[in-house]
Structure 1
Amino acid sequence: QRQARLLGILGSAIAKDRDGEVFALHVVQVPMQLSIYEGRRFLKEARPLFEEVIRQARELDVPVRTMIRIGRHVGKAIVDTARKRDANLILLSWPGFTRSEQAAFGRVIDHVAQNPPCDMAVVRFKRREPPRRILVPTADGPNVRLAVEMAVSMGRQYEQQYGEKVTITALYVCPPEADSAVERRGREAIAHAVAGFDFPIEGKVVSAPDVVTGILQQAEEHNLVVMGASEERLFERMVFGTVSERVARQCPKTTIIVKRYQGPVISWLKRLLTR
């Protein structure tokens, strides 16, 4: 129920900022040894989860709908439902570990991330803190702008709801021996990432032994980290890239990793080349 409440808070804030709605989906997974009909016995488990999401959405006056699906494969059910509902964003929670050695974030998230029908975000919740200081690591790639977009949505809604100022910092990490040209590229990357947003965003270029260390050091001064999935290699089998996955595992603050939908052609090509 805690995960449902926190996802409801986050999803409602994003939906409110975008004049959208929250669609809460609960998938009842039925083992192969049971018939699909047997899954109906577990339907009542979804009621308290839905009540949490509905409560959070109503606090922000956001429309909310719910659905229960019964099936064998949770990830497939999520993707199919998002596609049929023409969703703009899939929001999933990750506990910070997985029981499967072949799955970086677990079978459900990995399945969704390898073929998302829309933008997606994976959240690792830590101790809940008001998002007064939001850190957005920047780099090249299609996902950074989405990270800034989500940070702005959450920051703007928090200011409107509670009347407290929110600071968003766009971060670029350079190696310790970086010269002025590298630092300049960092400032240019930040400028590109934050261009066009109607919300004040501070830029910060720092040096660190490696990117992950730099992000974790700066995260200590913030309440929330929102970062785009890193793309070390174009057809990497890693779901979100090693940098973002390491930050999500090690960061002491709530971390959100976002991945931009790149269209059906690129998604099909990635599936073909990573089989």
Structure 2
Amino acid sequence: MTRPLNYKHLHYFWATVRWGGISRAAEQLHLTPQTLSGQVKQLEESLGVALFRIAGKRLELTEAGRVAYSYADEMFSLGAELTEALKSLPAGRAASFRVGISDAVPKSMAQRLLAPALALKEPVRLVCREGALENLLGELALHRLDLVLSTSAVPPGLNVRSYNHRLGSSPIGLYQARGAANRRMPFPKGLHGRPMLLPASDSPLRSPLLAWLQSHRVMLHIVGEFADPALMKAFGAAGAGVFPAPVAARLEISRSHDAVLLGRVDGVQEEYFAISNERRVSHPAVRAIVDAAPGTLGDDSRKT
């Protein structure tokens, strides 16, 4: 008769793999290495297979161990999702909805994407943090955030368990302060030699934008490079140069920066992602954001 699986022992095995060995896992679990090793050994005996083999001074997973870890990782990740889903249920007061916003996301766009969360029947208290994407993903992995908004998916090779939910995209346009803009100039040839503001070199928009300008033989006169899109727009609004921004935000840019859209950069899009610990979205605020995103980003988001 098959013995029932001891989930406590399975969790110890999963932690050993996740933390890279007995000693590190024992420290995280507040156990002695001897105790942890004994618990894992009991799991192997109950399953009737070896999960680890000794390779020099290290432990390596056997084929059975790799299979067991893949199941265990899925099980405990689903358990974490369950915990977060239950935490999101209101209990007499508005539940906190903790969102990390990547530095690259325009603030006006973040507000529009998050607005549906504040319109829920059960109210939430929105708590926003800004920062570098990798730092925010680390906070998400520790369940200190419920969601991360980003203009890129989780970078490949980053050892965090999270899921990308593509919200849509917006074409990129080139804008200029209303007082400095000549709406009758030919586009894009009229950009030749004009002062230009560009995103920083690590921005996903930088390379395709430069390639598009070069394909149209536009001679660049770069006067500024910015990691913060809001700062770039502020300089653009002051007349420092032509600047790129999402077409979906053109009304806000017109109102708040008094800038006009000169034209679209064909084939260059800014994408938006909601990144969460949930593969199947159950958090009501995240669900509202994902469902409303196509309308928020406009018809252009449906064409990609």
User: Normalising TM by the smaller chain, what interval?
Assistant: under 0.3
- Structure 1 length normalisation: TM-score? 0.25
- Structure 2 length normalisation: TM-score? 0.23
